[in-house]
Amino acid sequence: MGSAPPVRQRRLARPLWLNQPGRVTGLSPMRAGGVLGLLLLLILVFWATQRPIVPVPDRLAPVSVTIIDHVRHGQSFYPAAIDALRENEQPLRPALIAVPLPALPVALATVSPDIGETLLILLALSVVVAWARSWRIALDRPVAQGLALILAVAGLYPLVAWPMSVVPESWAALLVALSLAQHRPQGMATAVALGLAAMIVTPVALVHALVMLVLAWHSRARQEVIGWIIAIALFLLVLAAHAHALHTAVTAVDPVMGDALALTTPADLIAGVASTGAVGFLPLSLVLPLAVLAALGWLHWRRPVARRAGVTMAAYALAALLTGGAGFLLMLAPLFFLGLVFAPDAVRELVATLRDRRRITVKRVVR
């Protein structure tokens, strides 16, 4: 008669900073090794493809500054925007994409630069406070909460400083980040309203609204689905009015944008995102592995707010990789590197899983 000792299951270690297990907790050793191997491969690919890039602020700020300067001097918005694009040697066709929506530039042109910058700083502080409610619930240790605060603030500078404070995508990125933090049953209307405000500032925010609509549909949240459908419909009306105003403003001799698809490398994507925040002051060779760990941190954090933010950032990253659009990169800036605070738990779990391989011995006793 033979018998075999029972197989012991691996005892899960207590999370390092998080107060609950994450998504990579409990993986099999083979899968944990695959995840670590993929992380290492991504870092190597990023290092191999890194190169100098034009920072996102240098790509977006000059046109926005020129538009507002023209409007402040009495010029109507659409002639001002078209003149600004021509002065900065930017393409004007298709005009619906090239020319920004008028709401934010016209509003900022009516107030002093200090007031506009102060309002953006207050919006940024609202984002930090709103997200602090989420990470205070998730993080046990004060050192982790302090690091989260540092990373959140690092994602906001120089986003809130002149000249980036007049770029529509700067405002939209913060509105989207605040919308994600407000996304809860009692704050659903606020989240939708903030998403609509972001779309009115720039069409780039439409990606966020579509992601939220899909997630709400998947969750069968009927009221939220209706809310996002109404918000998108209102935005499309604004976009239609914008297109009508541009109908005769752009001529056939104006330069045309290049191909819609302009593939960029992952390293360029990370460098672009870093250039919009304080992380950009670090060497790129260090920023690239930090970005991989930040992505792992967002993947590991098991909360609905992390899922929504992670899917939204993944959608913007994909759009940036396919088009090279600086606006898509800017939408990642406020939250992306916040994921670093959740990465230590993920790495610890993966390494612990690999080290916890147990040999199973079967003994047969013959009587």
* Res. 255: pLDDT tops 90: no
Two structure tokens written together for 233: 């419909």
pLDDT: which is higher, 258 or 150: 150
Predicted TM-score (pTM) of the model is 0.90
Going by C-alpha positions, the residue among 226, 206, 207 that lies closest to residue 216 is 226
Helix axes 77-87, 56-72, angle to 10 degrees: 140
pLDDT: which is higher, 146 or 361: 146
For residue range 55-111, list pLDDT tens digits in order. Answer: 888 889 999 999 999 999 999 999 999 989 888 888 777 778 889 999 999 999 999
For residue range 219-230, list pLDDT tens digits in order. Answer: 888 999 999 999
CB 325, CB 60: distance < 8 Å: no
* Res. 42: pLDDT tops 80: yes
Going by C-alpha positions, the residue among 142, 198, 182 that lies closest to residue 305 is 182
Compute φ and ψ for 276, nearest 5 degrees.
Answer: -95, 0
What pLDDT does 2 receive? 47
pLDDT: which is higher, 127 or 253: 127
Average pLDDT of the residues of the chain? 88
CB 329, CB 58: distance < 8 Å: no
For residue range 267-312, list pLDDT tens digits in order. Answer: 999 999 999 888 888 999 999 999 999 999 999 998 899 999 999 9
